[in-house]
Amino acid sequence: MHGTIDGNVQKLTLTNAAALQSRDQEIQALKAQLKKKDDDLLASEKRNREVVNAQISLRKECDKLRLCFGLAIQRAKPLAFGPESWEMYIGVVDPAEPLPDSICDTLEANDPWDTAKKVKETHLLFWRPMKINGQPITLQSIETAFKSPKGGGRPHSGYNKTVYLPDDNRQRFINLLNSTWDQVHASPAWVLLRKEAIPESTNKDYSSQSQILGRKKGYGVPSIIEIVFGIFIEHMRGNPAPYASIATRCAPTGLTTSPEVPASEWLVYGNHPLDCFKAPPSHSFINTESIGMGAVIRF
């Protein structure tokens, strides 16, 4: 009898021990699961903190960039003759597109033809409008507007340029004076105009000069209207006129209201704002040391 009881007790003890061991294993497994979840949660929180910190750092960097870019644009503005300047001195013009983000780097870069100077020293940055006070621009209207600038700008007096032209070019010049420039430029634009002719571009024909210009990426031949704007703007602000010592050839006009003159015959002079441009009297005057090639970038 006692043996049977002892056997049953032993079996019950073993059964309970197995159950306790199984329960302990379950508890350990549950603890392991909870620990894994805790570790995952901690890792997730750490990642979230890293993401948040990264976002905060990124926002700070963006704020710095915005500030730096804003300051850079502010530094560039005094160098630019934009719509505000046009309105201050001449009249209301077409609204301007924002200056490109790279404009400050462009202005601070070395001049492509004179690496001892910065672009901001050798170039003029201005907004080239299509209308002033709602009226299409002509060379005649530009000259009239700059005769009596507002805001303390330096005025100039005009004269009849046509009397200095040979008969065969006089009518072409008169037509050019009164032509609108929407046939040449489809829209207004920012213009970065080099204020002097390209070095080593004199004593060469138009084709050779164009090849020299083409070696510098982004540059093109300036139009008559762009050179005239540059001359009058600088004169009005009391600065030396562009192309004062060496005249520049200009791009063909393409104007349908004026018989086309070969590109090599349209020249712009800056030694006096009144004598801003005229066709040369003879072909013997074309390829000399006093005639070079200008350069312009449009944005």
pLDDT tens per residue, range 23-36:
777 778 777 787 78
Q: Is the pLDDT of residue 20 over 80?
A: no
Please tell me the pTM assigned to this model: 0.69
Helix extents (H) in 112-260: 119-122, 139-147, 167-177, 206-214, 224-236
Contacts of 139 (CB under 8 A, 6+ apart): 176, 177, 178, 179, 224, 225, 228
The region of weakest confidence among 77-86, 91-100, 126-135, 177-186 is: 177-186
Note whether 146 and 228 are within 8 A (CB): no
pLDDT tens per residue, range 92-138:
999 988 888 888 889 989 999 999 999 999 999 999 999 999 998 88
Domain segments of the chain: what residues? 1-76, 82-298
